Each structure stands twice: as C-alpha cells, then as structure tokens.
Amino acid sequence: MKGYYISTNKNLLNMAKIHREVKASYWGSYRTPELTKKTIDSSICFGVFTNSDEQVGFGRVLTDKVVFAYIMDVLVFEPHKGKGLGKFLIKTMMEYPEIKNVLTIALKTKDAHILYESFGFKRVGDSELWMAIDRAKLD
C-alpha cells in the first residue's frame, strides 16, 4: 500500500505504543506492559509502518503453523484509521507463508465482522464474537 509497509521484525515494534493501544481496546484493558510483551514474544507479529518508519498499526497470530491459527490484537492507530490499513494488515497476515495454509484460522471481534467476512471468515455457530475459516476435512 502506497506510503506504508508491514514488517514481522519484532525489533521494529514500538512496545509502548502497542501496549497503550491494546490497553485502550475493549478486549485488552486488563493487560500490563509485561503481559503485552509476553504476548508479542509468543506470537508472529505484524507491524504497520509509514514509509518514515512510524508504527501506525499492529496485529499478531498465535499458531502451530499446520492445524490452527488465532488472529489477535488487530489495531490501526489514530489518525490512520479509515485508510484501508486494516484490510492491508489482514491481507498480509492471511498471505504470510506460515499462516496461509493453516487449516483453521479463528478470531474474535465485536465490530469488524464485515472486514473479516471479505477475507472468507464466517461466524461460528450462534456466537456474536467468534469467526473462522475452517478448511479442515473431517471424514
């Protein structure tokens, strides 16, 4: 996307900024800086940056790289929302080599169902939050 890039290099991540954004989210208010760091250490992370290297978004995936992947903490920071960066981030995550062939990819969202449906996610059962892409063959 013009003017932006995504990197999985954790050394580029602005931990303080990520923690502030996660803490302000509806799902992460309980997290301490130590918990945020631990989640980053345990995940494949995707930072969204301007071409001048300012971090403006973040997302992470926890996965075994074969059977299951869980997308979490997808954030676009103000004032960069509404520019298509969420789509850019999800597309990049879904095409990442260690994620693209995973059989089941899941996530939870309160307010971004339309975004995820555009990537093939479907609601799971009667859940208002859970969505998944399930390519597992159950014979």
Residues of the chain with pLDDT > 90, as a percent, come to 96
Q: Helices 33-41 & 15-24, crossing angle to 10 degrees?
A: 110
Which residues are within 8 A (CB) of 89 and not within 5 positions of it... i.e. 6 or more apart?
6, 46, 48, 57, 59, 74, 76
Peptide bond just before 97 cis, omega within 30 deg: no
Describe the chain by its helix, strand, coil percentages, rounded to 5.
25, 30, 45
Lowest mean pLDDT among 7-16, 58-67, 96-105, 130-139: 130-139
Residue 139: the pLDDT is: 61
Q: What is the pTM of this model?
A: 0.94
For 61-82, how does the pLDDT look when each residue is reduced to its tens digit (9 = 90+)? 999 999 999 999 999 999 999 9
Residue 136: the pLDDT is: 82
Q: How many CA atoms lie within 13 A of 128 on its CB side?
A: 2
pLDDT of 137 strictly over 80:
no
